[in-house]
Amino acid sequence: MTPVILSGGSGTRLWPLSREAYPKQFISLVNNNSLLGDTVERVEALDDVQHLIVVSNEEHRFMVAGCLQTHDHLNNSSIILEPVGRNTAPAIALAAFKALEVDADAVLLIMPADHVIKDSPKFAEAVLKGKKAALDGKLATFGIVPDSPHTGYGYIQSGEHQGDWSKVDHFVEKPDEATAKKYISSGDYYWNSGMFMFRADRYLEELEKFNPEMVSTCKRSLEKSTPDLDFIRVDAETFASSPDDSIDYAVMEKTDAAVVVPLDAGWSDVGSWSALWEIHQQDEQGNVCKGDVITEDVNNSYIHSESRLVAAIGVEDHVIVETDDVILVADKSRVQDVKKLVAQVKKQDRYEHQFHKKVHRPWGTYEGVANSNRFQVKRIMVKPGSKLSLQKHHHRAEHWVVVQGTALITRGEEQLLLTEDQSTYIPLGTVHRLENPGVIPLEIIEVQTGSYLGEDDIVRLEDTYGRV
């Protein structure tokens, strides 16, 4: 069995916690683990796993690799980088071709990186049933046994029962509440989970019937791929020419081999703030409070604090989410519209849809502390053994103060070793590099001064992470 984790989403509906550069699959929303980390652990609990494939976009590649390394899976996995997003059908085609290079009989288990499944043993049982269906030549999808007339999910209508699974009659879009109630009362409908299981060759065979152009472009783009550190870079020009389509539309709604395997394991796609409220344990007032929160006469609300005290009084059925640069206040019934706010942020040419104040890099993080027209202050953390690129700037000089750990600094032709309370100055145009040779995180305060302070004023001359 070859698990395939799709990790390309941006999680817009969980903004402002989820952002393009650091979306929900990398965030600890349910426990101390990230959603991607939980998905990897779910894979670890399954039997007969031969190889793990993760399909990611380029921007998130180091976070994916870091997660796999934490779970000791980096050496037994393939990370395929999509140069552009083309939806799930081409992403799965890339994974299918890659899996067939390792095993001609590969059975794929397709899982999004950002789902919650509370009951792992029940999930494993459903996977065994899905594997049987796959070995029988079926294309299985996992249908969630519904517990409410949810209007935020698509539905699958099941047909003739065939042992552990049923034939798929058809897929339906997200219904209104009245239609959802009819679906639930009929007993013939499941929520569409977006998880699938099939033999790699059978998927490609069915995809070839309905979209041969997609198959050929994905095959050629993988054949022309190049290795890069821990990643597989498919050919960008070829892959960009692939049709853009989801697996539902491209294959599952058209094939006569689709079956649905029931799954009742505490599943959620965590697709909105109300969904996150539903999966958490609520207090006696029906509230879920995370972080530094105090309430008075508040009911059935989700309140999340990241960096400061949030105090609420006299509200009901609300979502309040505080980060260090955005505060979201929404009626719980309107949380599906958060993406409209994100669209406004983009239209105003702001940064809050893309980055948090703390920005993650493969070597660590940096966080804005203060800024003005001619200066800005950052807090930089470098992981043990990591180093930034060898670089220079055309428009700014930098002052560095070490506040924790040891810094090995390249400044022109010289090297400096600085410890806590020591500092140095990097003049404009000087080639420099920051490294952490120690065993604890290195933290420095950086003060930038100059005529232009944008992140694009970096000329990389050498880089461990291939970003030159």
Q: Per-residue DSSP letters for 299-314?
A: BS-EEEESSS-EEEES
Cα–Cα distance measured from residue 146 to residue 192, given in angstroms and rounded to the nearest whole number: 10
> Residue 437, preceding bond cis, omega within 30 degrees?
no
End-to-end CA separation in angstroms for the chain: 37
Cα–Cα distance measured from residue 329 to residue 36, given in angstroms and rounded to the nearest whole number: 27
332 close to 277: Cβ distance less than 8 angstroms: yes
What pLDDT does residue 151 have? 86
What pLDDT does residue 201 have? 97
Per-residue DSSP letter, 251? I
According to DSSP, the residues that pair with 189 across neighbouring strands are: 157
134 close to 1: Cβ distance less than 8 angstroms: no
H-helix or E-strand spanning residue 309: none
Cα–Cα distance measured from residue 446 to residue 368, given in angstroms and rounded to the nearest whole number: 10
What pLDDT does residue 117 have? 95
Superfamily of domain 2-268: Spore Coat Polysaccharide Biosynthesis Protein SpsA; Chain A (3.90.550.10)
- Quick one: tokens of 27? 């965030």
H-helix or E-strand spanning residue 204: helix 200-210
Superfamily of domain 358-462: Jelly Rolls (2.60.120.10)
Q: Where are the domains of the chain?
A: 2-268, 273-344, 358-462
Cα–Cα distance measured from residue 373 to residue 108, given in angstroms and rounded to the nearest whole number: 53
* pLDDT by position in tens, the chain (length 468): 999 999 987 778 999 999 999 999 999 999 889 999 999 999 988 988 889 999 999 889 999 998 998 887 767 899 999 999 999 999 999 999 999 999 999 999 999 999 999 999 999 999 999 999 999 999 999 999 998 898 888 999 999 888 899 999 989 998 998 999 999 989 899 999 999 999 999 999 999 999 999 999 999 999 999 998 889 999 999 999 999 999 999 999 999 999 999 999 999 999 899 999 999 999 999 999 999 999 999 999 999 999 999 999 999 999 999 999 999 999 999 998 999 999 999 999 999 999 998 999 999 999 989 888 899 999 999 999 999 999 999 999 999 999 999 999 999 999 999 999 999 999 999 999 999 999 999 999 999 999 998 888 999 999 988 776
- Quick one: tokens of 312? 């609420």
What pLDDT does residue 468 have? 67
What pLDDT does residue 228 have? 86
What pLDDT does residue 114 have? 94
